[in-house]
Amino acid sequence: MQGTVEAASAGYLLGVAALAIALLLLLIMKFKVHAFASLILVSLLTALATGIELNKIVPSMLSGFGGTLASVAILVGIGAMIGKILEYSGGAQTLADTLIAVLGKERAPLALGIASLLFAFPIFFDAGLVVMLPVILSVAKRLGGSLLIYALPSVGAFSVMHAFLPPHPGPVAAGGILGANIGHLVLTGLIIGIPTWILGGYLFGLWAGKKWHVSVPDLFQSSADDHGDIKPPKFSTVIGILLAPMILIFINTGISTLQAAGTLPKDNALCDLLMLIGQTPIALLITLLLSVCIFCKPFSGKKLNDLCEHALGPVCSVILVTGAGGMFGGILRSSGIGDALASTLNDLGIPVILAAFIIAACLRIAQGSATVALTTAAALVAPIVHGMDLSTLQMCALVGAISGGSIVCSHFNDSGFWLVKGLFGLDEKLTLRTWTVIETLLGSIGFILSCVMYMLF
């Protein structure tokens, strides 16, 4: 009888979870309620339906919301300001022009892809794509051929970095929920992301560009000249700025690893200082200060303030939706739904990394947002993970698998779908054949590489 009661309880909780997700999709897709408000409402209803004590509902909601924002808001906000300063100063154009000069015109798609990978580190997908748009279109017009040859490698680069690499909100939030080290996530994100981009972004982009010819839209031709007479920074300066936070974070990770191995003492003041400045928020803050000192000499104080203000505006929605996703995840954990799912998956014998990918993919296909899919899937599998003895790299590989699931099968309910369609002048059918396929390839290849890492380490 006890087993029957437990099974019924698990079934009820999973049923509530299914209805909650269905209601979330209905509110966002059918009734066009903003994801932020929808997530708050569904979190409240889920808490009531699962019997959380009334006096604990609001604290549980605020705990999930605040915990997620604590790890996401600072990183996304600083990253957006760095990206805006680099864009306005001409840093993106410098990257593209120099790489094309070095690699040759015949490798222009590779050069644009590499530039996008570098530039995508501090800036999230939508903003990064808009920033690189004048560069992509100017190169495509100058060299000729299908726009897709130049656009898709860059689009794939921004998507990979946004899905797999901190300081982007999805992997940062998932890492925080699962307890993965952010510094290690940067390293594993690069190990997984670079081959994923080469196979699913760059090579597919070349193939698609040869198969479908798309002309450069006239609408955007003058957008590269909007910044007046500002002298662009040197290539080495831009590279140095973009690599600065990665180097600081890697120093933190290296010292932490050596201390864990007993090679370095744990009470060394110099090591503690290096680890402090290698924490991701501090590393990005240092990078922002360097960007201001180096790139903003021609700007007035008012112009610098305007740039930062314009950078923060678009990311506010992303930050709030991410926090609300963390709130929903917190309610799922507090209600016992996560434990019920863990028990069910254990009974089914599905490996946790496969279950994580499937859950994230289902959420992505259903509601469109990669960040919501990533955050919610991490919250759902967290009870399973916390009961397992996983290594640091296995935990990072698990985040990689969730990241892969969160970007597959982008279609009409994804803002990225419409952004790519509109910016590059594609129709819906061709967008499905290119953008949707490239996202599915990136997610699937990233998942496979995550599985390899998970099994090896």
The CA–CA distances, whole Å, from 280 to 61, 252, 270, 377 equal 26, 9, 18, 23
State how far the Cα of 456 lies from the Cα of 129, in Å rounded to an integer: 35
Residue type at 133?
L
Average pLDDT over residues 3-20: 70
What pTM was computed for the model? 0.71
Residue that wins the pLDDT comparison between 364 and 342: 364
In eight-state DSSP terms, residue 391 is -
Query: What pLDDT does residue 124 have?
Result: 67
The greatest distance separating any two alpha carbons of the chain, rounded to the nearest whole angstrom, comes to: 79
Q: Is 301 exposed, middle or buried (0-12, 13-18, 19+ CB in 10 A)?
A: exposed
Question: Following DSSP, what letter does each residue of 104-154 receive, concatenated?
Answer: -GGGHHHHHHHHHHHHTTTS-HHHHHHHHHHHHHHHHHHH-S-HHHHHHHH
State how far the Cα of 271 lies from the Cα of 383, in Å rounded to an integer: 34
| Residue 272: both structure tokens together | 């503690």
| Residue 334: both structure tokens together | 């507090």
Task: Please confirm whether the linkage preceding 351 is cis (ω < 30° from 0).
Answer: no
Phi, psi of 351 (to 5 degrees): -55, 145
Query: What pLDDT does residue 92 have?
Result: 67
Q: Is 106 exposed, middle or buried (0-12, 13-18, 19+ CB in 10 A)?
A: exposed
Residues in the chain: 457
Whether the CB-CB separation of 175 and 185 falls below 8 Å is answered with yes
- Per-residue pLDDT tens digits for 252-303: 878 887 887 778 888 889 999 999 998 878 888 998 999 888 888 767 677 7
Compute and round to an integer the Cα radius of gyration of the chain.
Answer: 22
The CA–CA distances, whole Å, from 434 to 124, 149, 212, 438 equal 21, 11, 9, 6
Query: What pLDDT does residue 1 have?
Result: 36
- Per-residue pLDDT tens digits for 407-419: 999 887 677 887 7
